[in-house]
Amino acid sequence: MAFTLPALPYTTAALAAKGMCQETLELHHGKHHQAYVTALNGFVEKDAALQGKSLDEIVKLAHGNAAMAPVFNNAGQHWNHILFWQNMSATGGGIPGKLEAKLVADFGSVQAFKDAFKTAATTQFGSGWAWLVMGADGKLKCTKTPNGSNPLATGEGKALLGCDVWEHSYYLDFRNRRPDYVQNWLDNLANYEAISI
Ligand code: MN3
């Protein structure tokens, strides 16, 4: 069973008023994410060891295996983008009370959470991702991963929010201003309502 590009949970124009334009979503979803899916299917087709495995299984199997780096990069990016589309909303930015209480308990304040997330995102040198994860200790924390890696692969916890900081995610809307993209993402795009803790 081949992997497929999931439909966006909104139209490509839906986030424009929130700082992510239609062209960004058309290219990012229709070209970049599609390319990861197509490449991953190509690897699975040629390798019996990958056939019948779930996406999570392939990500974990390929992680840290140099010979499987191309498989990991594409499987990881497919996994990351599935979450990323769900992590945004045209009505994003509002933090429900239960999550707010947990953020205050674990970071000290909502502002401190956003600062930690933004620091993770802006200190990721080159391409990668910033994450809000629930650690094994039950505490929320912010982390970052390079390229196509993610918290499932690194074992850092359950990913609750993932923000793509590859330039293709923000260059049309924010040019080189990654800090502004991440701040806007946290304030206006992030779909905190969909997080279950
Ligand atoms: Mn991307």
Ligand 1 is an ion; its neighbours by CB within 5 Å are 164, 166
- pLDDT at residue 53 is higher than 90: yes
In the reported structure, the alpha carbon of residue 166 is separated from the centroid of ligand 1 by a whole-number distance in angstroms of 6
Q: Is the four-CA dihedral 70, 23, 146, 57 of positive or negative sign? A: negative
Q: Is the pLDDT at 62 greater than 90, yes or no?
A: yes
Q: Does domain 97-194 have CATH number 3.55.40.20?
A: yes
Q: What is the pLDDT of residue 181?
A: 98
Q: Give the Å distance between the CA of 174 and the centre of ligand 1.
A: 15
pTM, rounded to two decimals: 0.98
Give distance in angstroms: CA of 29 to centre of ligand 1.
8
3.40.640.10, 3.40.50.300, 1.10.287.990, 3.90.1310.10: CATH of 21-86: 1.10.287.990
Check if the beta carbon of residue 36 is closer than 8 Å to that of residue 2.
Answer: no
Is residue 1 scored above 80 in pLDDT?
Answer: no
